[in-house]
Amino acid sequence: MSFVEGSYRIGNGNWQVFIFRKDAIEIAEVTSGHWSSGVTGLFVRVPLSVRLNKKAIELLMTERLGVTQWREVRGPDSMQLR
């Protein structure tokens, strides 16, 4: 896939959005996202060679957010949050 979007929250915090997109770059670039709805999150550009799957996304989010363990739950739709 060339684009992945979802939602996450840490602890009892607010739900946030992540967007991962493949791009012609050499190393991953992570920036803070802020949408007009007021929701925040992460916007991540990764090299074209990166496989965008659950494992890769969790690894990059772990590195950025310092979370050591993720638990998958049903959360709000990221497109509706934005």
Q: Where are the domains of the chain?
A: 3-66
| Residue 35 CB contacts under 8 Å (≥ 6 apart), including other chains | 17, 41, 81, 82
| Contact by Cβ (8 Å): 56, 81 | no
Percentage above 70 pLDDT, the chain: 100
19 has which bridge partners? 5, 43
Q: How far apart are CA 58 and CA 69, in angstroms?
A: 9
Place 13 in a pLDDT band, splitting at 50, 70 and 90: very high
Query: Does residue 1 have a pLDDT over 80?
Result: no
For the stretch 23-39, pLDDT in tens is 999 999 999 989 999 99
Q: Which residue has the higher pLDDT, 43 or 80?
A: 43
| Contact by Cβ (8 Å): 38, 16 | no
For the stretch 61-78, pLDDT in tens is 999 999 988 999 988 899
